[in-house]
Amino acid sequence: MSLLIRNGRVIDPANGVDAGADVLIADGSIQRVGPSLLAPANVEILDATGKVVCPGFIDIHVHLREPGYEYKETVATGTRAAAAGGFTAVCCMANTDPVNDNRSVTDYILAKARSEGVVRVYPIGAVTRDLAGKELAELAELAEAGCVAFSDDGNPVMDAALYRRAMEYTLPFGTPVISHAEDAHLARGTCMNEGVVSTELGLDGAPAAAEDVMVARDILLAELTGAHVHIAHLSTAGAVRLVRDAKARGVRVTAEVTPHHLVLTEDAVRGYDPNTKMNPPLRTKRDVEALVEALADGTIDCIATDHAPHSLAEKEGAFDDAAFGIVGLETAVALLLDRLVHGGVLPLATLVARLSTDPARLLRLRGGSLGAGAPADVTILDLDAEVDVDPARFRSRSRNTPFAGWTLRGHPWKTIVGGRVVNP
Amino acid sequence: MAWTRKDLVTIRDLDASEITLLVDTAASLQEIATREIKKVPALRGKTIVNLFYEPSTRTRTSFEIAGKWLSADVINFSVNGSSAAKGESLVDTAKNIEAMSPDVVVVRHGSAGAAELLARELGCAIVNAGDGAHEHPTQALLDLLTIRERKGHFEGLHVAIVGDIAHSRVARSNLHGMRKLGMTVTVAGPPTLIPPFVQELGAKVSYRLEDAIRDVDVIMMLRLQQERMTRGLIPSLREYSRYWGLSLEKLAAHARPDVLIMHPGPVNRGVELSPEVADGPYSVILDQVAKGVAVRMGVLVLLAGRKAEGAA
């Protein structure tokens, strides 16, 4: 089966392409990219005039919740949400029940992805058994089973010696350790950013330093071990500065930022909407500006959603009792196009790179390129369509978003995985 | 002017004329307490539910007496925090209560924002009787009424609020109310008990009791929660009391002779206040409690009365 995507603007950062071109796909791979390609016999034609054709977007930070929390999300619903949001691949975090700290859980997730998933799924294994921070999980076997990185996401590993050993032990596999950078003591009992808003609202706030001290620690451990440490959901101006300095020194540190930390500040918490509660918390305007700048200059390598589905019951009560996190897969691309690209603060080609080429590079995933022979994973954008965010229409099983009712310009038009259109 | 809001959730949202209306209304209702028969028909046929998720003696009793003196039917609904956490959600509980058609629900909850949540979800009037460390508007109103009766006015007065400001809803409501009425507010305590950026809410900050109480018209001492030590906020009650406890000696040495000493209660005698100060001539603590009933009557009349006008 083959597919010819006609007349789009092709942005392929991996190959330095930004031009009007056709993309020919056959047998699940990219065959050719170029102007006015000849259509082979029996090819299906997709007219992408006025659209932007990109390598498939990859979200390296997603909670699919299966096994164990199928009432929040499953591999089936989560991958459909990904496809609807323009993502052709997701990496799923290990905080399932049971935890993905052994091969049988990894195998289960991959089997579910094969039988029920519609986009590619790459599991991330736990660093420590049961995410308890006490002893290492069986990291070699997890890597062999297909885990592309290791993280106790949700829980910081407070034992620096253990974290150092995890970095050393995984060196031969080339898999990064992904750090949920949060000092558990500084952040204990908190539910938002510490600042004037937390003071006004009477909520316990975590200082930015709770994140920064752990980013600093993990950079130092990466320097000590030579390992690649990736900072998840970086959210402070201080952490940006630390990562920028470390990269200049040649430390193998990379970082991601979420769409919500790029567009919302702590002011959104006024009104106590539990859908503005996440970890790390929404920060200040100064932090947001630093994050956008760092994303543009490459200090922050990629965008990841931290898609964190929760049921209504977990997100409707008092703010301090509510669960942390929001869904992100189905709003990310539209938010980023509207606020950053149309907002004039990030070039489109940079956004495309931070969603495709860069995450593929960080975790050494196939994809992130439209070069000949690459997997035929393609995201096509409509930059001008206006959409209203309506959680009732989400493919995700959960609805916990602070963006309900927002009107956004630009959204994913088609999502193609292995040459097959999976959305719409 | 007339009261227009459905709920009383914060002082922060009110303007000075609304605060004055609430205080004036309370002042006019004070004489009911002096009558032989303490009953007026203002809220006959109205139902008030006291929905308390935290233990409370004086606030709940005060609302109950206020409702009964106004001839309303008052129902107390106390929920043990832990069993509520396991079972029915706050919104579900409140909707069940609303299904029984109360006119006013008075809510106290350990979570900041709980009253605002109910005000949004329920059609009846909501009175915030304290939500976490956020606000406690009726406490601020009774404090304001007490101050005005003693000092005759608000404008230009200087108040020191001393103690655990960070965890105090009383401090927040008073800070907002006092600032709106033209008063100067200094918050004082060890830095670990002063919330970050409180200056941006209009407060001055002092880290020394002797400085904080100099030349102020009112000193409001806050209760120190015993568990603050376990979280590393203060080393010991002994040390706190030594540096932040208000004694007659400190008063005589540093405060003005006509200063008022206030405390929202319950007092930790010997910790934030020495017994001689708590019971001394400067103290208006029991007057505050008495004013509490008048303030709650005023709030209930304005909120329940608004509904009656709307229906007419």
Tell me the per-residue pLDDT of B245-263, one tens digit each, with 9 for 90 and over.
Answer: 999 999 999 999 999 999 9
Q: 3-class DSSP state for residue A132?
A: coil
Identical fold for domains B16-135+292-305 and B137-288, yes or no, is yes
Residues B61 and B76: their CA atoms lie apart, in Å, by: 10
Kindly tell me if the per-residue pLDDT of B83 is higher than 70. Answer: no
Kindly tell me if the per-residue pLDDT of B311 is higher than 50. Answer: no
Cβ separation of B117 and A194 shorter than 8 Å? no
Q: Dihedral sign, CA of A65, A68, A72, A78?
A: positive
Among A61, A402, A54, A85, residue whose Cα is nearest residue A255: A61
Strands (E), A221-357: 229-231, 253-257, 302-303
Peptide bond into A280 cis (omega under 30): yes
Burial class (CB in 10 A: 0-12, 13-18, 19+), A40: exposed
**What pLDDT is attached to residue B91?**
83
Q: Dihedral sign, CA of B233, B236, B241, B243?
A: negative
**What pLDDT is attached to residue B92?**
85
Place of tokens 């004055």: B20
Cβ separation of A318 and B117 shorter than 8 Å? yes
Q: Are A319 and A272 in contact (CB under 8 A)?
A: yes
**What pLDDT is attached to residue B84?**
54
Residues A28 and A264: their CA atoms lie apart, in Å, by: 38
Binned at pLDDT 50, 70 and 90, residue B95 comes out as confident
Cα pseudo-dihedral B115, B121, B122, B125, rounded to 10 = 40
Q: In Å, what is the CA distance from B226 to each residue of B37, B161, B166, B230?
A: 41, 19, 14, 8
**What pLDDT is attached to residue B89?**
79
Q: Considering only the top CATH level, what class is A56-362?
A: alpha beta
Q: In this structure, which topology does domain B16-135+292-305 adopt according to CATH? A: Rossmann fold (3.40.50)
Complex ipTM value: 0.91
Cβ separation of B113 and A200 shorter than 8 Å? no
Kindly tell me if the per-residue pLDDT of B47 is higher than 80. Answer: yes
**Number of Cβ atoms within 10 Å of the Cβ of A114:** 10
**What pLDDT is attached to residue A1?**
75
**What pLDDT is attached to residue B256?**
96
Cβ separation of B195 and A195 shorter than 8 Å? no
The per-residue pLDDT for range A45-85, each reduced to its tens digit, is: 999 999 999 999 999 999 999 999 999 999 999 999 999 99
Q: In Å, what is the CA distance from A322 to each residue of A268, A331, B114?
A: 16, 21, 12
In chain A, residues with a C-beta closer than 8 Å to the C-beta of B90 are 317-318
Residues A415 and A419: their CA atoms lie apart, in Å, by: 10
pTM for the predicted model, two decimal places: 0.94
Burial class (CB in 10 A: 0-12, 13-18, 19+), B92: middle
A173 CA: distance to closest CA in chain B (Å):
42
Residue of A nearest to B113 (CA): A272
Per-residue buried b or exposed e for B184-194, using 16+ beta carbons within 10 Å of the residue's own CB: bbbbbbbeebb
- Residue of B54, B86, B116, B118 to mutate, testing the A interface (most A Cβ within 10 Å of its Cβ): B116
The active-site residue, picked from A22, A152, A153, A306, is A306
- Residue of B197, B222, B230 to mutate, testing the A interface (most A Cβ within 10 Å of its Cβ): B197
Place of tokens 């091969």: A103
Low-confidence ranges of chain A (pLDDT < 50): none
A203 in reach of chain B (CB within 8 A): yes
A324 CA: distance to closest CA in chain B (Å):
16
Lowest mean pLDDT among B3-17, B72-86, B124-138, B222-236: B72-86
- Token pair in block for residue B25: 């209304």
Per domain, the residue ranges of chain B are 16-135+292-305, 137-288
Comparing B268 with A198, which gets the higher pLDDT? A198
A320 in reach of chain B (CB within 8 A): yes
In chain B, residues with a C-beta closer than 8 Å to the C-beta of A277 are none
Tell which A residues from 262 to 281 touch B, by Cβ distance under 8 Å: 271-272
The per-residue pLDDT for range B161-197, each reduced to its tens digit, is: 999 999 999 999 999 999 999 999 999 999 999 999 9
Kindly tell me if the per-residue pLDDT of B87 is higher than 80. Answer: no
Residue of A nearest to B170 (CA): A202
Per domain, the residue ranges of chain A are 2-52+375-423, 56-362
Q: Give Cα B99 distance to the centre of its chain.
A: 29
In this structure, which long-range contacts are made by residues B188-192, counting pairs with CB atoms below 8 Å and at least 24 apart in sequence? B188/B160, B188/B161, B188/B162, B188/B163, B188/B212, B188/B213, B189/B162, B189/B163, B189/B164, B189/B165, B189/B244, B190/B233, B190/B234, B190/B240, B190/B243, B190/B244, B192/B166, B192/B232, B192/B233, B192/B234
A275 CA: distance to closest CA in chain B (Å):
13
**What pLDDT is attached to residue B85?**
53
A306 given a catalytic annotation = yes
Angle between helices B137-151 and B16-29 (to 10 degrees): 70
A319 in reach of chain B (CB within 8 A): yes
CA angle (A23, A25, A27) in 5-degree steps: 170
Cα pseudo-dihedral B161, B162, B163, B167, rounded to 10 = 10
Q: Considering only the top CATH level, what class is A2-52+375-423?
A: mainly beta
Residues B114 and A64: their CA atoms lie apart, in Å, by: 31
Among A332, A337, A357, residue whose Cα is nearest residue A11: A357
A321 in reach of chain B (CB within 8 A): yes
Average pLDDT score over chain B: 92
**What pLDDT is attached to residue B308?**
47
Kindly tell me if the per-residue pLDDT of B310 is higher than 60. Answer: no
**How many interface pairs between A and B have CB atoms less than 8 angstroms apart?**
65
Strands (E), A192-325: 192-193, 205-206, 229-231, 253-257, 302-303
Q: Dihedral sign, CA of A25, A27, A28, A32?
A: negative
> A77 phi and psi, to 5 degrees?
-75, -40
CA angle (B110, B111, B117) in 5-degree steps: 125
The per-residue pLDDT for range A88-109, each reduced to its tens digit, is: 999 999 999 999 999 999 999 9
Residues B46 and A25: their CA atoms lie apart, in Å, by: 73
Binned at pLDDT 50, 70 and 90, residue B305 comes out as confident
In chain A, residues with a C-beta closer than 8 Å to the C-beta of B198 are 199
Binned at pLDDT 50, 70 and 90, residue B312 comes out as very low
CA angle (B44, B26, B32) in 5-degree steps: 60
Q: Give Cα A271 distance to the centre of its chain.
A: 27
B117 CA: distance to closest CA in chain A (Å):
7
- Token pair in block for residue A246: 């470390």
Residues A254 and A247: their CA atoms lie apart, in Å, by: 8
pLDDT > 90: percent of chain B: 82
A269 CA: distance to closest CA in chain B (Å):
11
Q: Considering only the top CATH level, what class is B137-288?
A: alpha beta
Residue of B nearest to A270 (CA): B113
Q: 3-class DSSP state for residue B15?
A: coil
Q: Are A373 and A30 in contact (CB under 8 A)?
A: yes
Among B191, B140, B143, residue whose Cα is nearest residue B164: B191
**Number of Cβ atoms within 10 Å of the Cβ of B55:** 10
